[in-house]
Structure 1
Amino acid sequence: MFSLRSRTDFGIGNFGAMEGLFRWMNEARQKILMVLPLLPTAPGDSSPYATRSAFGLNPLFIDVHQLPEFQATGGEGAFSDEQKRQLAEARAAHRVRYDLVFPLKDAAFGRAFDHFDRHEWGAKTARAKEFQAWREAQGEWLESYALFTAISEDQQRRAWWEWPEPLKHRQPEALKAEGQRLERRVRYHAWLQWVAEQQWNQVRAQAKARGILLCGDEPFIIGQDSADTWAHPDILRRDARLGVPPDDFSATGQDWGLPYFDFAAMEKEDYRWLKARAVKAASYYDLRRVDHAVGYFRQWIRDEKTPTGRFIPSDEESHKKFGERHFRLLSQDAGIIAEDLGVIPPFVRRILADLGLPGYRVMRWERDDNTYRNPHQYPPISLVTTGTHDTEPMADWWDAARDDERAAVARAWPEYQGVPVTKEFTPEIHRAMLAAALNSSSNLCVLPWQDILGTRERINLPGTMSDSNWAYRITQDVEDLLKDEQSRGAAERLSWLTASARR
């Protein structure tokens, strides 16, 4: 979402830009749009996986120009000269300038809410009543999130375990008193969620009208300093740290420093929180990419007793039972795609296939030593793709590959027959690569924007902290995608290849 560029954006993509992308997708014959997580994130953090809530939407993606309260207070014309300069700089920036985007959007939201609070809320207008009815219908997640966010601000954004004891331990009288004292800020954060959901519902209607399915990305776990970990410390445990075990890529594994799920505690309350999360996500999307699918089978945690880590549960039979039970629950009345990448035990993909849940087939990783697998032989219940948000674009991968790797691709992927295999990522090689994905036997095919265009900028470089991570912006305004030569040509090429593949 942050990558979309439009004429009236604030230097970051927003919900108002989606209609332009949908028009391009129709021309390109594409029927599924997969987006990175849209959940609320930590203030000042650009990563969509730095989630502060397992529910709700990120206010950063609100289209300010669709806010009647913003327009009622003068719109951009009411900004100071310095704010106007910063806005122009953010819009023109090659990548998302979060240092400019955060304060500009905060200022716009603050002004709009002040108007709402005085003229709508105070007068109990129909719009205020609509907001109040929505707020009451949301229940626990919204009140916990809004109160958590307001207290966090009041506590200078210190982590919740550093708050005063009564607030840290959620003593009812202390929460009630704090909620009353901070009521206006609590209402503000609830209002932002209402506005975001209103705009997202409009996006959903636009997608449905154009025959496009929306696929969300559901992170496995929530951040430590999050509303859910604060509200549910019994099921989101902080007495150990979640990660992944040692593998061929890391001799020590990875320590993510995240809480872990106490599935036994969840089971005692009939998975109430997990079910509520799934229901809310299902209300946003037609299908969901469940991140780190293996985590629902087993978790790798580190604590003082086992600093190098251990699995919970400890035995394989329990892993199988856990995974099947959890994915039956997650996929009930919902479309699920399981992100089963990395070092995955064979039984994971087998159980997912038995449940009819597609896993991933990233073409460059589908190989046995130096022998690539023929995409025409991928299992039908799978999702084929040329890359993910964590990989370099295919153009860079092709350039960096060894000569024998490129030759191995050409032998295994039928679409390369007759195509000169050169080190250069030529238009012919690019076209064959897209055709190989689309002609695969996987029922689902989702292609990264950069690979569709054959460009080289990446979304994220794992294991690094950089201003370029999570800051990619497309070159064209969405209003001009079908006018710009590069993106119009990409739509025409993709349309022809998709039709030829009979997708």
Structure 2
Amino acid sequence: MSQTPPPDEIPAELLELAHVHGVRTEFYGFDGGAQQVRASTLVAVLEALGVPATSRNQVQMSLALARDDEWRQALPPTVVVRQGVDATVPVHVNDGSAVQVWVELDGAEPLAARRGQRERRDLTQREVYVEPRMVDGRRTGRATFAVPTDLPLGWHTLHATSDGGEAKTTLVVTPQRLTLAPEVEQKQVWGLLVQLYSVRSRTSWGLGDLADLADIAWLAAHRGGADFVAVNPLAAAEPTVPMTPSPYLPTSRRFLNPVYVRVEDILETAYLSAADRSLVEWAADPVRDLATDPGPIDRDAVWEAKKAALEVVFTAPRRAARQAAYEEFVAEQGKGLRDYATWCAITEHLAGKDWPRELSTPDAPAVVALREQLAERVEFHTWLQWVADEQKAVAQRTAREAGMKIGIMHDLAVGVHPEGADAWANGAYLARGVEVGAPPDMYNQQGQNWSQPPWNPRALAKAGYAPYRDMLRTVLRSAGALRADHILGLFRLWWIPGGSKASAGTYVAYDHEAMVGILCLEAQRAGAVVVGEDLGVFEPWVRDYLADRGILGTSVLWFEQENGGPLPPEKYRHLAMASVGTHDMPPTAGYLAGEHVDLRERLGLLTEPVEVVRRRAREEREVFVRALVERGLVGEDASEREIVEAMHRYLRRAPSALFGVQLVDMVGERRSQNQPGTDQEYPNWKVPLGDANGNPILLEDLFESQRLRSLIAALNADA
């Protein structure tokens, strides 16, 4: 194996090793044809998983280790079960030795919790004979124990003792399925799909913020009857400029981007001295006029201004109760928050220089020393997360008090920036030398590389899924719902070896029962609805599985087709959020006009002659309009506005539990927020909300828009 053999000559041992570790050796492309994975890809992916495979001897040794790996451990790395479902756990001990197994419950009994005790439940052994094995010179037996079906939901600890030794592991009890609230289950509810940064107000410093989000929710509920507002990921970006504009490439998925903080809404701002208040006002002066600037949003200017103001507010004293609340937040977020704030402080300190090797891990001695040296900046970034979390909570509380059944739907990106805070703090749980992406499909024929390091499923299981759990808990704070981008990644992800084309990757499987189950557990604890973006290439059973767990899918009008035309609304899934388009497509007005074809032609993204693509777009439009005419939703000579409204009325008749309406469609905006396949060629994630002519629309004027009010009236008339 010193040289890579042709695809059809992959050694059987390498194929077996890949199979054992969940690495696909073949996959089906978007055209339905089977594709064999290259040997070099299998080797690179296995190495990224921590499985040596660069030589034949390494493959043989790794395979021998893998065959007996679970027998070397008394207990599995993590045990995840569904509440009320019969499950067993294998326990490995010296053959013939007695073994006792019990579970220590986490906070199951209030009285025990008050006494500092944890309830213990013994497990019963099942009469299941398994042939013993010789493992590392030791004759090892397997005992099978039943997990009680009445264990409470939560994170428990499983113990096993034998021959004087004790082992323990994490036992997670997850709900069988999430259930929708009756008011959502019984009748479709609709809400706004909003790119928050683009919706500016006269007081938001040139970029939509968390105070604007609260106002949008209140207005949408009172003036539109909406029941949720879904926003782009608000996850953290760099603490220095330039700031990555894409909300789907955050430095941390767990923590918030403080650029969304409304400075004036921090309570301590009201108690600033006249001199300090002047400093805050001066900081805002350079960006106040950006709210009406029709050009690309300037995050860097906004952040520089806000950071200067926030540094002033940070020095203001806090009342005793406020200080206690801050300290409770810091204690609750624990090491994760400390590491994130430390990364921010070091990033500022290095000022664009490469990170020295001695700073490569959060617990390195050099990092500990630098954390003490930068203690004030670490504290500043810790405080920023507290004030951002407070304003996030206000937005959700405002939405619910306004009458929304769900409130704010937050968005969880697929992954993180390869050089960001999460990649640094969670490096032990991420795979290196590979990047996440997608295989070629009909829209991206070269495949996609998202440049993000994936979770290492082996390392994650050994950690008891704690990093994944902690991330979910923070994201779900003050969330009425969560949209999980590319939820198929909880089943398998497309791993691309570093330096390779996106098409030269393969799928790596994850323990979806654990990944999805933990998502359900944390969402149920938070009282949140979960929507999974399940678009793309996937096995049909995946959607059934998600529906069985109570996770809503995603149905997009342009993609849902049957017999060459749009899928009839009555055939849509109930457990889904339906919408006309997505943020990766032009707004509906622009799409109907074929502007996506014009844009892709200008950017050199077309792989076919422009005449062919343009003709296909016209035919697609005609098919959809014809379906609307046949249902009596528009006339033969309908205007663009009438067609856009009819498409939304079409989905209003679907049984989908949720219906998301893009805010850009409500005001006639035509420009795309994001053009896949581009970086600097297009102002991705920088387009401010505007009307059909690109004129900025401020939040104060939004609900006075005749076009918006007309669409809202159409939606509510068909309810």
**What's the TM-score, normalizing by structure 2?**
0.63
- Once the two structures are superposed, residues 410-451 of structure 1 have per-residue CA deviations (whole angstroms, 9 ceiling, x without a partner) of 3444775262345x7433222211201211121110010011
Superposition map of 1:347-358 within 5 A = 347-358=541-552
CA 255–465 in structure 1, closer or farther in 2 if over 3 Å, else same = closer
Partner of 2:647: 433
Partner of 1:25: 220
Superposition map of 1:109-128 within 5 A = 109-113=310-314, 115-116=315-316, 119-120=317-318, 125-128=320-323
Q: Which of 442, 454, 474 pairs up with 1:280? A: 474
Partner of 1:311: 506
**More off after superposition, 38-47 vs 191-200:** 38-47
* 2:432 match: secondary structure: strand
Distance in 2 separating the partners of 1:84 and 1:163 = 32
Q: Which of 504, 511, 516 pairs up with 1:322? A: 511
Partner of 1:40: 236
Distance in 1 separating the partners of 2:536 and 2:382 = 37
- Once the two structures are superposed, residues 259-285 of structure 1 have per-residue CA deviations (whole angstroms, 9 ceiling, x without a partner) of 011112211222111111122222131
* 1:34 match: secondary structure: strand
Distance in 1 separating the partners of 2:662 and 2:634 = 23
Match status 1:198 vs 2:400: no
- Once the two structures are superposed, residues 94-143 of structure 1 have per-residue CA deviations (whole angstroms, 9 ceiling, x without a partner) of 24222421221122112222x32xx45xxx85433432332122112110
CA 182–434 in structure 1, closer or farther in 2 if over 3 Å, else same = same
Answer 1 or 2: which has greater strand percent: 2
- Once the two structures are superposed, residues 431-490 of structure 1 have per-residue CA deviations (whole angstroms, 9 ceiling, x without a partner) of 2112012111211100100112232132211222246321233343323434x243xx52
Corresponding letter in the other structure for 1:183? A
How far apart are 1:372 and its partner, in Å?
Answer: 1.8
* 1:243 match: secondary structure: strand
Distance in 1 separating the partners of 2:435 and 2:569 = 38
- Once the two structures are superposed, residues 304-349 of structure 1 have per-residue CA deviations (whole angstroms, 9 ceiling, x without a partner) of 6976534343xxxxx5x73344212212214211101122332322
- Once the two structures are superposed, residues 16-41 of structure 1 have per-residue CA deviations (whole angstroms, 9 ceiling, x without a partner) of 22343123312211101100001111
Corresponding letter in the other structure for 2:702? L
RMSD of Structure 2 on Structure 1 (CA): 2.6
Q: Which of 704, 708, 717 pairs up with 1:490? A: 708
Partner of 1:8: 203
Partner of 2:685: 470
Match status 1:460 vs 2:654: no
Partner of 2:700: 479
Superposition map of 1:127-206 within 5 A = 127-158=322-353, 162-206=354-398
Partner of 1:49: 248
Paired residue total = 481
Superposition map of 1:350-369 within 5 A = 350-368=544-562
CA 270–88 in structure 1, closer or farther in 2 if over 3 Å, else same = closer
Is the contact made by 1:219 and 1:290 (CA closer than 8 Å) also made in structure 2?
A: yes
**What's the TM-score, normalizing by structure 1?**
0.88
How far apart are 1:227 and its partner, in Å?
Answer: 1.8
Corresponding letter in the other structure for 1:289? R
Partner of 1:231: 425
* 2:583 match: secondary structure: coil
Is the contact made by 1:29 and 1:498 (CA closer than 8 Å) also made in structure 2?
A: no
Partner of 2:165: none
Partner of 2:490: 296
Distance in 2 separating the partners of 1:169 and 1:84 = 36
CA 367–8 in structure 1, closer or farther in 2 if over 3 Å, else same = same
Distance in 2 separating the partners of 1:91 and 1:305 = 41
* 1:49 match: secondary structure: coil
Distance in 1 separating the partners of 2:284 and 2:546 = 51
Is the contact made by 2:230 and 2:410 (CA closer than 8 Å) also made in structure 1?
A: yes
Match status 1:107 vs 2:308: yes
CA 415–381 in structure 1, closer or farther in 2 if over 3 Å, else same = farther
Q: Percent identity?
A: 27
Distance in 2 separating the partners of 1:325 and 1:137 = 24
Distance in 1 separating the partners of 2:663 and 2:486 = 22
CA 415–278 in structure 1, closer or farther in 2 if over 3 Å, else same = farther
Distance in 2 separating the partners of 1:447 and 1:415 = 23
Larger radius of gyration: 2
Distance in 2 separating the partners of 1:415 and 1:52 = 49
Is the contact made by 2:232 and 2:411 (CA closer than 8 Å) also made in structure 1?
A: yes
Q: Which of 621, 624, 634 pairs up with 1:406? A: 621
Is the contact made by 1:438 and 1:497 (CA closer than 8 Å) also made in structure 2?
A: no
Partner of 2:106: none
Is the contact made by 1:242 and 1:300 (CA closer than 8 Å) also made in structure 2?
A: yes
Partner of 2:449: 255
Distance in 2 separating the partners of 1:127 and 1:470 = 35
* 1:89 match: secondary structure: helix
Partner of 2:661: 447
Corresponding letter in the other structure for 1:501? D
Is the contact made by 1:224 and 1:238 (CA closer than 8 Å) also made in structure 2?
A: no
Corresponding letter in the other structure for 1:427? R
* 2:476 match: secondary structure: helix
Distance in 1 separating the partners of 2:201 and 2:445 = 44
Corresponding letter in the other structure for 2:708? A
Partner of 1:501: 718
Corresponding letter in the other structure for 2:253? A
CA 49–493 in structure 1, closer or farther in 2 if over 3 Å, else same = closer
Match status 1:207 vs 2:407: no
Distance in 2 separating the partners of 1:306 and 1:45 = 24
How far apart are 1:70 and its partner, in Å?
Answer: 4.1
**Structure 2 portions without partners, runs of 5+:** 1-195, 595-615, 690-695
How far apart are 1:193 and its partner, in Å?
Answer: 0.7
Distance in 1 separating the partners of 2:343 and 2:206 = 28
CA 249–498 in structure 1, closer or farther in 2 if over 3 Å, else same = closer
Is the contact made by 1:241 and 1:255 (CA closer than 8 Å) also made in structure 2?
A: yes
Partner of 2:299: 98
